Amino acid sequence: MKRFLTGLQPSGALHIGNYFGALKPFVDQYRSYESFLMVVDYHALTSLKDPAALRENILSATKDYLAAGVDPEQVTLFQQSQVQEHTELAWILECLVTVPFLELSHAYKDKLAKGLEANAGLFNYPMLMAADILLYDTDIVPVGADQRQHVEYAREAAAKFNNTYELLFKEPQGLIQETVATVPGTDGKKMSKSYKNTIPLFGSRDDIAQAVMSIVTDSSGERPEHVYAIHSLFKDAPALDALYEVHRGKYKALKEALIEDVDALVAPMREKRASISDADVVRVLAEGSARAKEKAGAKMQAVRKAIGVVL
Ligand code: TYM
């Protein structure tokens, strides 16, 4: 059975870009594969240094996955930091790639351009992500378009290792669904926590309404393009075109219709989420991480042998 794996950073509340770009494709397809889903808490450390917030975000992100339809009996759902093999393999991969190669990272350059601290973790981020993927012999990685290059880095890291030592790693494929590859935010740019243009996935109805009402509209057109673009995630084109025809030029009515549609999707998940306790999350992550550790541990033993540190 092919292996299917993805991860999301617990760096803040999930938004509908994360949901449509990565979580929903994962939930829709994981039953056809042997599947792995990670809370990548060590990646979040590149930007988040508040221990209470990190702890809270790990609990909260895991509740989001479970509420969105991830069954921990069928998916190895785990916490990256509980499987130390990830950081161990990342180091080995870092010793195989060059600084100029890592300097090509768009994500790194974008973050610097936004004024984020250029810590060494941020720079080495792609090799930790490569380790996340390669440790499990992953075939397919469902992600949004912004992660395309990161999956490419994982392929290159696998090839570098295989050429230098022995053929141990599979080169994974990214799975990027074009219609949701880059979900736009309330200002039309890519939806992103750091642009403050998000619609929260598990916000209250009021939070959703507030975010939708803040979608930037261009008063010259008949159809508010940014509203329409987000709305197209929730309704197919014929239904949407009919709705936008009936409410031609009535931006407020269209935004209210969008609030209804977002809330209709989220309400059942929100209800399910409210029934999941912190203790449930701790148990699920401990079980999943133990399962992941078994696989990662065996793989790392082969890696240690291949590089020459097993005497
Ligand atoms: P992160 O936490 O930034 O985002 C999680 C997932 O959400 C997708 N995404 C979007 N998709 C469409 N439109 C958007 N506006 C949008 N914003 C975010 C991202 O593409 C991602 O799939 N480096 C990864 C986490 C990671 C990972 C991994 C992923 C670490 N290790 C191994 C896969 C496999 C990240 O920062 O995602």
- 43 CA from centroid of ligand 1 (Å): 11
Predicted local distance difference test score (pLDDT) of residue 12: 87
Q: How many domains does the chain have?
A: 2
- Looking at the domain assignment, is residue 188 inside a domain? no
Indicate which atom in ligand 1 lies nearest the CA of residue 146. Answer: 20
Predicted local distance difference test score (pLDDT) of residue 219: 64
Whether 190 is catalytic is: yes
Q: 294 and 242 share a domain?
A: no
Q: 159 and 296 share a domain?
A: yes
- 147 CA from centroid of ligand 1 (Å): 6
Q: 128 and 88 share a domain?
A: yes
Indicate which atom in ligand 1 lies nearest the CA of residue 43. Answer: 30
Q: What is the pTM of this model?
A: 0.96
The parts of the chain modelled with pLDDT lower than 50 are none
Whether 2 is catalytic is: no
Indicate which atom in ligand 1 lies nearest the CA of residue 183. Answer: 13
- Looking at the domain assignment, is residue 186 inside a domain? no
Q: Which domain holds residue 238?
A: 193-273
Q: 221 and 130 share a domain?
A: no
Q: 136 and 91 share a domain?
A: yes
Which residue of the set 24, 63, 190, 299 is catalytic?
190
Predicted local distance difference test score (pLDDT) of residue 220: 65
- Looking at the domain assignment, is residue 74 inside a domain? yes
Q: 142 and 231 share a domain?
A: no
Q: 38 and 164 share a domain?
A: yes
Q: Report d(CA 65, CA 60) in Å as an integer.
A: 9
Predicted local distance difference test score (pLDDT) of residue 218: 75
Q: 226 and 123 share a domain?
A: no
Q: 35 and 169 share a domain?
A: yes
Predicted local distance difference test score (pLDDT) of residue 114: 84
